[in-house]
């Protein structure tokens, strides 16, 4: 990294990650194509994609910060803020709505004492509504940290909350 580096030293990819990125870039005609996969790496490593992380990624891929910013802000799956340990994403689009998704969201929010988009005070759960998850045959669909759960019932949600709270208390 050059002396006039614009980012803080707090957010850095490991050497293993940098090697992985080098291999990844070689699969595309241009390094810019590797931006989305690299943003996923940052989110996995740091929990969310801070402004410092975005500056660091711009340097690593040789892009302007604005090129990184506009991708981070365009796509809903890139998070600029931290979220709870368990991100509960409920699809409320057509197929899920017709099979009780709104009632499921209400139940989830009631049980956790939060509104959609909020995180519980203990930092354990964040609830969000998402657009069609592409699994309408299993409606209603809830993703828990990217893992799909289908035909989800209020009982399933209750059990999940109880289990994760118990794990969190350990």
Partner 1 sequence: MAISSDPRQVKQICFDRIDIPHVNTLKVAREHGAYEFLPTVLKDFDTARIIDEVKTSGLRGRGGAGFPTGLKWSFVPRNTGKPTYLLCNADEGEPGTFKDRDIMRFDPHLLIEGMIMAGFALGVKDAYIYVRGEFLHEAQVMNAAIDEAYAANLLGDDILGSGYSMNLTVHRGAGAYICGEETALIESLEGKPGRPRFKPPFPAVEGFYGCPTVVNNVETLATVPAILKFGGDWHASIGIPNNTGCKIFSVSGHVNKPGNYEVPMGTSLKTLIEDYCGGLQHGSVPKVVIPGGSSTPWLTAEHYDTPLTYDAMMKAGSMLGSGAIIVMDETADVVALSRRLAHFYAHESCGQCTPCREGTGWLKRIMNRVESGQGTEEDIQVLGDAATHMAGRTICALADGAAAPILSMLEHFPEEVRARLVEKAA
Length of the chain: 170
How are strands ordered across the β-sheet holding 125-130?
Answer: 125-130, 86-91, 142-144, 147-149
- Under the binding rule (CB under 8 A), the answer on residue 117 touching partner 1 is no
> Which are the contacts of 97, defined by CB distance < 8 A and separation ≥ 6?
none
Site string for partner 1, 15-54 (x = CB under 8 A): ------------xxxx-xxxxxx-xx--------------
- Under the binding rule (CB under 8 A), the answer on residue 131 touching partner 1 is yes
Beta carbon of residue 24, minimum distance to partner 1 (angstroms, whole number)? 9
In whole angstroms, give the CA distance from residue 100 to residue 155. 13
- Under the binding rule (CB under 8 A), the answer on residue 64 touching partner 1 is no
Residue number with CB closer to partner 1 (138 or 154): 138
In whole angstroms, give the CA distance from residue 134 to residue 91. 9
In the complex, the residues that contact partner 1 under the rule CB under 8 A are 27-30, 32-37, 39-40, 63, 67, 70-71, 74-78, 92-95, 97-99, 130-139, 143, 146-148
């Amino acid at each position: 990294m050059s002396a006039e580096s614009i980012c803080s030293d707090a957010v850095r990819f490991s050497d293993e990650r940098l090697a992985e990125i080098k291999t990844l870039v070689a699969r595309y005609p241009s390094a810019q194509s590797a931006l989305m996969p690299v943003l996923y790496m940052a989110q996995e490593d740091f929990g969310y994609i801070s402004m410092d992380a975005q500056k660091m990624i711009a340097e690593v891929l040789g892009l302007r910060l604005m090129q990184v910013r506009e991708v981070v802000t365009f796509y809903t799956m890139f998070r600029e803020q931290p979220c709870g340990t368990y991100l509960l994403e409920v699809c409320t689009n057509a197929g899920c709505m017709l099979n009780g998704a709104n009632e499921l969201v209400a139940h989830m929010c009631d049980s956790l004492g939060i509104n959609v988009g909020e995180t519980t005070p203990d930092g354990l759960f964040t609830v969000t509504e998402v657009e069609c998850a592409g699994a309408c045959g299993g409606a209603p669909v809830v993703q828990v940290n990217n893992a799909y759960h289908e035909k989800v019932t209020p009982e399933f949600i209750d059990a999940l909350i109880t289990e994760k709270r118990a794990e969190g208390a350990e």
